[in-house]
Chain A
Amino acid sequence: MRLVLDIFTVLAVSAGAFFFLAGTVGLIRFPDALTRLHALTKVDNLGLGLVVLGLLPQANGLFGALKLVTIWLLVQLSGAIVTQLIAGTVRQHGPRE
């Protein structure tokens, strides 16, 4: 059972790392600030979600697991809000060079 959970952790965290990599590639390759925001919010949220999911079986009891999920929720919330603020500012004033 332990082995199955460990394999699950390795697979999920690796998948999460892959999405973080893809998000960073998007950040570098996408042409402007707004398209880069898409890359950061969407791909990195999925990456973090997979890392958290993978770490849940290794968590230190119920509170440890809840703490991991809380981190993911807080990052989702702040990502969703900050992205809109940056996008609104870029649309009004244009990107800073």
Chain B
Amino acid sequence: MNSPDERDGPEELSPDRPVALGSAIFRSIGFFGFWLVLTGADPSDLAAGLVAAFAATWASLRLMPTQPWDLRPIKLAGYVSHFLRQSITAGIDVAWLALDPRLRLRPGFVVYQAQLPPGTTREAFCAIMSLMPGTLPCGQAEGNGLTIHCLDVTQPVAEQLAVEEALCVQALRGVPRNG
């Protein structure tokens, strides 16, 4: 449960050089790997790939500065499997609604008071929510609220979202520190 000690140290206030360098290396390896996948690792494209990976890393560090992520691989793997099961349920659920001759839709808006402050983690949660059964985030509401469009407003949507948000925070802990 304890967070890594360096996050409580003075490094959090000053620019964290080792973390930034580590994440630059990590991201450039990721982008270069992505290039290899896209081009089928064609040797004549490697030089262009190195330039592209470098440029992409520079852009990503500008657009999404390094944050102290505290990922737990096992929890994350568990969350990914939960997410896959939920998106299968979502697909079957909506397919069933679409093919049902009676078309039993009760669409409407629900305002959900999110616990997460605005920031990257909340964006990630919104993206995940839009792939979950029956919910589609469509903007802010008053306070810390999110307006959610639902296919069936008679379902306990807010309770389900609270459970999902708690799971999401557990898997991506360490990020909601920008509020």
Question: Interface of A with B (CB < 8 Å)?
Answer: 18-19, 22-23, 25-26, 29-32, 34-35, 37-39, 41-43, 45-47, 49, 63-64, 66-67, 70, 76-77, 79-81, 83-84, 87-88, 90-92
Contact = CB atoms under 8 A, between A and B. Distances in A.
A12 to B, nearest CB: 13
Nearest to A82: B130
Interface string B124-159: 001110110110111100000001010100000000
B104 to A, nearest CB: 12
Nearest to A68: B37
A31 B151 CA distance: 11
A87 B92 CA distance: 22
Interface residues of B, number: 35
A66 to B, nearest CB: 5
A45 B94 contact: no
Interface in B30-49: 34, 36-38, 40-41
A91 B103 CA distance: 23
B94 A84 contact: no
A91 B105 contact: no
Looking at A29, A32, A38, A92, which has the most chain B CB atoms within 10 Å of its CB? Answer: A38
A25 B98 contact: yes
B120 to A, nearest CB: 13
B102 to A, nearest CB: 11
Q: Which 5 A-B pairs have the closest CB atoms?
A: A46-B91, A26-B98, A87-B138, A22-B95, A80-B127
Contacts of B87: 42, 45-46, 49
Given A80-B130, A84-B136, A87-B139, A31 B105 contact: yes
Given A35-B151, A38-B151, A80-B128, A19 B138 contact: no
B110 interface: no
Contacts of B41: 63
B94 A43 contact: yes
B99 A25 contact: yes
Contact of B91 (A19, A34, A80, A83): A19
B98 A43 contact: yes
Looking at B41, B109, B134, B136, which has the most chain A CB atoms within 10 Å of its CB? Answer: B136
Contacts of A32: 107
B66 to A, nearest CB: 21
A71 to B, nearest CB: 10
A22 B91 CA distance: 9
B90 interface: yes
Nearest to A32: B107
